[in-house]
Chains A and B, each alone.
Chain A
Amino acid sequence: MKTKHWILLFAVLLGASALVFLWGRSQKQQGVTARVLQDGQLLREIRLDEIREEFRFTVWDADGHYNIVQVEPGRICIREADCPDKLCVKQGWISGGIIPLVCMPHKFIVQLTEGEP
């Protein structure tokens, strides 16, 4: 293959990649979805970026223990829990990142994922 064909090939590939990259950036929701899991079961998925008003809800586990989750626009936390260590409550708000809110005694997890669920 002639050299100029190679040059053309790479130029096209470069351009196409640039286009895909820019398109991807415009598409990306930057949306953060919170997933609430109890004992491995997905209970709820909440699009944090679509929340307009704060609200809270309670999750009960099989033994009657609870975790109260508070949701505000863009962030989520475990407000209250009746676990012995209350580490989950002390973790405070999360709005991004890979570290989830975890209540070990209750097998309760609130994790964040990027983009649509």
Chain B
Amino acid sequence: MRQEKQNTAPLTRRLTADAMLTALALGLYFLEAWLPPLVPLPGVKLGLANVITLFALYRLGPRDAAAILLCRIFLATLFGGQAISLIFSLSGGGLAFLAMCLIKPVLGRNQIWVCGVLGALAHNAGQILAAWLILKKAEVFSYLPVLIISAIITGLFTGICAQEVLKRLGRGVKEQNPS
């Protein structure tokens, strides 16, 4: 494979990659929101945007993945127009990111999907937590079994997606921060 001559400064290339992934994540997020839900329960969703977070985490490292995630959350809230969704998105996305970062070192190259599932579980846990903080009613935890089931299934799907993408994508975007 011919090695490309890199005329662009590494920081620019990194910024461009991050920006494109943010745009992709936003697109996936709103696409999913626009589609009619398969299961009409609150909080049960595919979480397609997490494919991007996973991809970025493995390909670019935690710093870039975090930046992409935060930008996507804030822009999505801005474009979506629902201020209250911010706290849910932040707690869900934040916990998911934390969980994925923590578990990543012990996983192998073929266990990226595990990272996805755990991220989904953490995400839903974060959403219940946010609901509890806002409503202050312990009844919200009774929703946990539903969200656990949903997280495992959807996390598996998005995790496998990310894993397959990472397997197939060559050295298009190199890991800038091997941390």
Measured CB to CB, the residues of A under 8 A from B are 1, 3, 6, 10, 13-14, 17-18, 20-21, 24, 114
Contacts and interface: CB of A to CB of B under 8 A. Distances in A.
Contact of A14 (B108, B142, B149): B149
B17 interface: no
Interface in B107-145: 108, 110-111, 114, 117, 139, 142, 144-145
A47 B146 CA distance: 28
A18 B149 CA distance: 7
With a 10 A CB-CB cut-off, give which of B106, B108, B110, B145 has the most chain A CB atoms.
B145
Q: Which of A10, A13, A14, A21 has the most CB of B within 10 A?
A: A10
Given A6-B111, A21-B145, A21-B146, A14 B106 contact: no
Interface residues of B, number: 16
A21 B149 contact: yes
A106 to B, nearest CB: 27
Contacts, number: 30
A10 to B, nearest CB: 5
B148 A17 contact: yes
A75 B93 CA distance: 42
A18 B152 CA distance: 12
Give the 8 A-B CB pairs with smallest separation, nearest first: A21-B145, A17-B145, A17-B148, A20-B145, A6-B114, A17-B149, A14-B152, A10-B152
Contacts of B142: 24
A3 B110 contact: yes
A13 B111 contact: no
B111 A3 contact: yes
A13 B106 contact: no
A6 B139 CA distance: 30
A21 to B, nearest CB: 4
A108 to B, nearest CB: 24
A13 B110 contact: no
A13 B145 contact: no
A6 B149 CA distance: 15
